[in-house]
Amino acid sequence: MSGSSISYRDRIYIVKDVILKLVEYGELNQTALVSFCGLNLKKHKSILDDLQQNGMIERIEKTMGKRIVAFYRPTQEGVAFCKDILEPYEKVFPRRKEEKNAIESKPNKELMTLLLV
């Protein structure tokens, strides 16, 4: 194992980040979603697939010219899961400070509050 200082992010926080980014933007293509969440598509595609299978996010394929592009949207069930389960979890088990600063942004919290009121 190398002595890199790359921090590890727990799967549960990746799930929360994905749902919050989709809530923030409404709909994102796969490339933008992976980029905004700081993920690697090869490593983290299974998380997106699991979220889709469990009804937390929705995948829509759109034809753009000759290409088929995958877009993702949050579902009401995913937003409710984030509010009811993931936010209380993060209060009890907060992220490490440097990880929190790198991923989370203030508009996410405000947006979640507006959507869920």
The whole-angstrom distance between residue 30's C-alpha and the CA centroid of its chain comes to 11
Render pLDDT for 40-74 as a digit per residue (tens, 0 to 9). Answer: 999 999 999 999 999 999 999 999 999 999 999 99
Q: Is residue 116 part of a domain?
A: no
Total of domains in the chain: 1
Rounded to 10 deg, the angle between the 11-25 and 41-53 helix axes is 70
What pLDDT was estimated at residue 50? Answer: 97
| CATH number where 87 lies | 1.10.10.10
In sequence order, the 6+-apart residues with CB closer than 8 A to the CB of 100 are: 94
Q: Is residue 65 part of a domain?
A: yes
Range 61-89 average pLDDT: 95
What pLDDT was estimated at residue 96? Answer: 77
What pLDDT was estimated at residue 114? Answer: 52
Is the model's pLDDT at 3 over the cut of 80? Answer: no
Phi/psi of residue 90, nearest 5 degrees: -70, -25
Mean pLDDT of the chain: 85
